[in-house]
Amino acid sequence: MKFSEVIGQEEAKRQLKLLVAEERLPHALMFSGPAGTGKMALALAFASYLLGESDEGYSLLDDAAAIRNAEAMLATWQHPDLVFAYPVVKPSGTASDFQASSDDYAREWRQMLSQGPYFTMDQWLTAMGATNQQAIIGVGESTALIRKLGFKSNQGGYKVAVVWLAERMNASCANALLKLIEEPPEATVFLLVCEEPEKLLPTIRSRVQVMGIRAIETAAVEQALQVRRHIGAEDARRIARLSGGSWVKALEALNEDNENKLFLDVFIKLMRLSYKRDVRALKDWSLAVADYGRERQRRMLTYFGHMVRENFMYNFRQPELNYMTLEEEAFSRNFSRFINEANVIPIAELFEKAGRDIGQNANAKMVFFDLALQMIVLLIKK
């Protein structure tokens, strides 16, 4: 994968190439930033670069045949010196003590990468055939990493380990990875992709060089929509602005059945039932959303928080401050007056707490019914 396939992030690309040119390449580098901004795309492009992929006519390999060979293997993500680690679920039908690893889903992973480097955890869960499970990077992964990285480079250059969503490592795996980073195998580079770095072991964070990845420039998203997706200029401008610098969100906006439309309907129903103080219907609401997978529930609560902030800002009647779709704005015209200085922070905190509880495997039915009951009280605060 070439750097040119990464949307925007020109400064990050320049810095990565400079690390190699000036021989300052660290043995462990972490790409940290919001979802959808191209962290994984940058990691894949940099891994490809380190393994010989040519960029603007330049390659770390000298031999033309070796370059062609490397690029052919990287085209299908089967280069022997490229190792992946990513969150997985336990395959169905395995024993209770089975330690799952990335090897169990290697075929599904390569299929996912073949569709592009911008994807979500929900898409990955679907690819694995997961239902209501939370994907983690467990001890089975650390065992596999130690084994794979113990061999010398097959092609005589770097060995590169890409760890997607490293914050999903459990304690056993994180401690094993820490030992690998502290005493890395020869010519091995670790590329960690992280969205919630605070969840990583402090000792790991202290031993990696962090590259903060910012939101993609709006102009870059707009241009990519026009060039790659053939979207008209005006639609591309609006979608790029709403994307918040996330290419994933920009792509979701193109889908008529995108998830946020579902979340908007669920949000509207919650607010209307709360206003009516219809406890029986709110119980039914909580049972319905409790059936969503935990990953979707967390995204839904994040979306709810976004809508609360946008409705509060809508009260200022300054369009440049709002980032909503036409459907969201249509609802907010009448609803925004219910979000005010007295309740905006408590409501936002309520959604954040519910998100934390869901992430800690709390009973979803209880979490959402409690949320609904509290919303009745908060919605009438003035």
Question: How far apart (Å, rounded) are the C-alpha atoms in residues 161 and 159?
Answer: 7
Tell me the pLDDT tens digit for each residue of 247-277: 998 988 887 557 888 899 999 999 999 999 9
| 57 Cβ contact list (under 8 Å, min separation 6) | none
Contacts of 143 (CB under 8 A, 6+ apart): 99, 101, 176
CA distance 306 to 56: 40
> SS3 for 286?
helix
State mean pLDDT over 186-212: 94
pLDDT at 382 over 80: no
Q: What is the pLDDT of residues 286-296, one digit of tens each?
A: 999 999 988 88
| Tens digit of each residue's pLDDT (9 = 90 or more) over 42-73 | 999 999 999 999 998 899 998 899 999 999 99
Residue 14 in this model has a pLDDT that exceeds 80: yes
If one compares 253 and 87, the residue with the highest pLDDT of the two is 87
Residue 257: what pLDDT? Answer: 56
Q: What's the whole-number mean pLDDT along residues 212-233?
A: 94
User: pTM value?
Assistant: 0.73
- Contact 181/166 with Cβ under 8 angstroms? no
- Check pLDDT > 80 for residue 320: no
What is the pLDDT confidence band of residue 161, given thresholds at 50, 70 and 90?
A: very high
pLDDT at 143 over 80: yes
Beta-carbon contacts of residue 28 (< 8 Å; ≥ 6 apart): 181, 184, 189, 190, 192, 207, 208, 209
User: C-alpha 86: how far from its chain's center?
Assistant: 12
Query: Is pLDDT above 60 for 204?
Result: yes
Opening angle at CA 163, ends 36 and 31, nearest 5: 50
Closest CA to 110 of 146, 135, 138, 73: 73
Q: What's the pLDDT score for residue 256?
A: 56
Q: Residue 305 — pLDDT band, cuts 50, 70, 90?
A: very high
Most confident of the following: 11-25, 88-102, 130-144, 228-242:
11-25
Q: Which residues contact 335 (CB under 8 A, 6 or more apart)?
A: 268, 271, 311
Provide the edge-to-edge strand list for the sheet that holds 188-194: 82-85, 159-164, 188-194, 28-32, 209-212
| pLDDT, mean of residues 158-181 | 94
- Asked whether 246 and 34 are in contact (CB, 8 A), the reply is yes
Mean pLDDT of the chain: 92
pLDDT value of residue 355:
95
pLDDT of residue 60: 92
